[in-house]
Structure 1
Amino acid sequence: MPAKKPFVFAASFSPSFAMIDSSQYTAQARSAQQLARWALLAFAALLALLAALLPPVQQLAHYHDFADQRGLLGLPNAMDVLTNLCFLAAAIVIARAMRQYRRAMQRAHVRSMPLWWHLCGLAALGFAATALGSGIYHLQPNDAGVLWDRLAMGIVFAAIVGLAVRQIACDASALLATALTFAASCASLAVWHATGNFTPWSVLQGGGMVLLLAIGLGTRLGLPRSAGMPALGLLAIIGWYLLCKVCELGDHALFEASAGLISGHSLKHVLAAAAGWPIARMLYNATPMRR
């Protein structure tokens, strides 16, 4: 008597289960992205409220009194000026990674680049603008010059916030976050330029870092990343930012400790430019290897 074939329950119903699992996953992803969008809007409203209600803070009176004021071949404040070339280097590295990714996509007959690729381009533009704006500012440090320096930084900041939001939300949310961040940068700098109140700019920077930290830790702890979005080293970017702040505050102390080798502000430029590497690395990791 032939042995009975076992009844394969899973095989008989696997198409239905696959459809259910797929639909459940899609619904969960959609729900998570909607929740992320509302959370972002609430966070933006909270930052706006803090910027309006917190007491005004003035920029340090001696802010432009940098430690290293040595010239070189007629170039004033040479180290603070020349170290801005690191920002230009960051822009070039990102641009090269973008080109490599685009060529790989073209070989795969993909012509339209994703939004996150364009945000990388915005970051590269911001780094290049920072190299120019900060370089000009350090030739003769004053409030008018640092305004343009910070506006250029606002471009980089907006691009990074957009890339961070795209990690967990859709293109529309990322684009909105980018636009809002740059608009807030311009508005907070306009307030500072008109009234001397530095609070809105400080709130924007601090709030942005909190957002990056929340998204970076969230994705590490299981928060679902958006489909098709490569991982961005947000925690590394935060680390570079914190090191920059330490160097900025320790400008004179580091200059003295290094026996005049390098000042804290010059080193800050180098470290800030290093924040471009996680963006380039994301692009390289997303680029298919050529067979």
Structure 2
Amino acid sequence: MDGEWWRKKWVAWAAAAAIFVVLMLVTPAIPQDEDYHDFADQRDLFLGIPNTLNVLSNIPFLFVGLAGLILCHYKNYFRLCSQGELWSWTLFYAGVTTVGVGSSYYHLYPNDATLVWDRLPMTIAFTSIVAIFIIERVDDRAGTKSLAPLVIAGALSILYWSFFDDLRPYAIIQFVPCIVIPVMAIVIPPMYTHSSYWLWAAGFYLLAKVEEAADKPIYRWTHDIVSGHTLKHLCAAMVPVFLTLMLAKRTIEPDRVSLLQMWKISWRERGSQDSNTVDVKYDYAAVSTTSEQQ
């Protein structure tokens, strides 16, 4: 059994490494855009804080991250079933907390050097979430053992960008989970209830990326009240908020039914109810007509 497990593990890692190498070979380097640091809202609104709203909008990360760290270790409030889950969620909330600090620091002095401290905590959060999903949906031991390699890979992607001005590894670390996690949340049966919260979290992250891309247009549309990047921070902070609510509410899922299976059952029941409703209306009309003829 152990031999089979190790074989599958190495096959999975070898496949991931091969895909990464192929992507690096067939895609061009992605340098950091020189205009990236030119945000729409650069106002000093109060307390002498430059880029005030872009700095202060990171505070929710700090509060949610600290709350999550405390609840992870307070009398097993989240009812985590294994040490692997505890370590992974602890790293996730540590990443969220340091995003609040690192991103605030970056927006005080936006440049490539400070951007490292914005992105590094995010990779810790991204990679921890991947390990959590492997633990919950695939195999506890495999997910636990993948945590350290994933986090190290995330950190190396930042170092690679910093030294070689190439964002490809970081882009893979950031965007692959955005695709894989919602798919896994829908298709693979969960260990816990309230699995739909993963989709809410993914939706808010997608919205945050749209707002980031529309930084200057949103600033114009709101008549210079708020920029897209500020809204991006607030929306992205909703990701750990929803995941914290999920952790607080969920219990062990006895039936292990995937969201996709649940949706199929719901659609069938709804279709059956609609069919019955049509039949009842038809029968009622027929009875009414007969009564009138009598």
TM over 0.5: yes
Counterpart of 2:259 in structure 1 is none
Q: Note if 1:267 corresponds to 2:267.
A: no
Counterpart of 1:67 in structure 2 is 40
Q: Could you tell me how far 1:53 is from its partner in structure 2?
A: 3.7
Q: Counterpart of 2:84 in structure 1: which amino acid? A: L
- Cα offsets for 1:187-245 (capped at 9, x unmatched): 221121111111121122222222212311213xxxx335x798473322221221111
Q: Could you tell me how far 1:94 is from its partner in structure 2?
A: 1.9
Counterpart of 1:138 in structure 2 is 107
Q: Could you tell me how far 1:57 is from its partner in structure 2?
A: 1.3
Specify every segment of 5 or more residues in structure 2 that has no aligned partner in the other structure, as ranges. Answer: 253-294
Counterpart of 1:255 in structure 2 is 219
Distance 1:238 1:54, change over 3 A: same
3-state DSSP class of the match of 2:40? coil
- Aligned ranges for residues 1-291 of structure 1 at < 5 Å? 42-43=15-16, 45-71=18-44, 72-99=46-73, 102=76, 114-219=83-188, 224-226=189-191, 231=195, 233-286=197-250
Distance 1:103 1:133, change over 3 A: closer
- Cα offsets for 1:79-120 (capped at 9, x unmatched): 011011010122133235435561586xxxx9x964213322
Deviates more, 1:230-239 or 1:76-85: 230-239
Is the CA contact 1:52–1:200 (under 8 Å) kept in the aligned structure 2?
Answer: no
Deviates more, 1:170-179 or 1:194-203: 170-179
Distance in 2, matches of 1:213 and 1:103, equals 25
Is the CA contact 1:57–1:197 (under 8 Å) kept in the aligned structure 2?
Answer: yes
Distance in 2, matches of 1:255 and 1:50, equals 35
Q: Could you tell me how far 1:74 is from its partner in structure 2?
A: 0.8
Distance in 2, matches of 1:78 and 1:104, equals 35
Q: Could you tell me how far 1:167 is from its partner in structure 2?
A: 2.1
3-state DSSP class of the match of 1:102? coil
Is the CA contact 2:201–2:243 (under 8 Å) kept in the aligned structure 1?
Answer: no
Distance in 2, matches of 1:258 and 1:114, equals 47
Distance in 1, matches of 2:30 and 2:124, equals 23
CA RMSD for the aligned pairs? Answer: 3.0
Is the CA contact 1:154–1:182 (under 8 Å) kept in the aligned structure 2?
Answer: yes
Is the CA contact 1:70–1:77 (under 8 Å) kept in the aligned structure 2?
Answer: yes
3-state DSSP class of the match of 2:87? helix
Is the CA contact 1:122–1:159 (under 8 Å) kept in the aligned structure 2?
Answer: yes
Counterpart of 1:4 in structure 2 is none
3-state DSSP class of the match of 1:206? helix
Is the CA contact 2:43–2:52 (under 8 Å) kept in the aligned structure 1?
Answer: yes
Is the CA contact 1:137–1:145 (under 8 Å) kept in the aligned structure 2?
Answer: yes
Name the TM-score, length of structure 2 as normaliser: 0.74
Q: Could you tell me how far 1:46 is from its partner in structure 2?
A: 1.5
Name the TM-score, length of structure 1 as normaliser: 0.75
3-state DSSP class of the match of 1:167? helix
Deviates more, 1:62-71 or 1:276-285: 276-285
Distance 1:42 1:229, change over 3 A: farther
Is the CA contact 1:232–1:278 (under 8 Å) kept in the aligned structure 2?
Answer: no
Equivalenced residue count is 249
Is the CA contact 1:94–1:277 (under 8 Å) kept in the aligned structure 2?
Answer: no
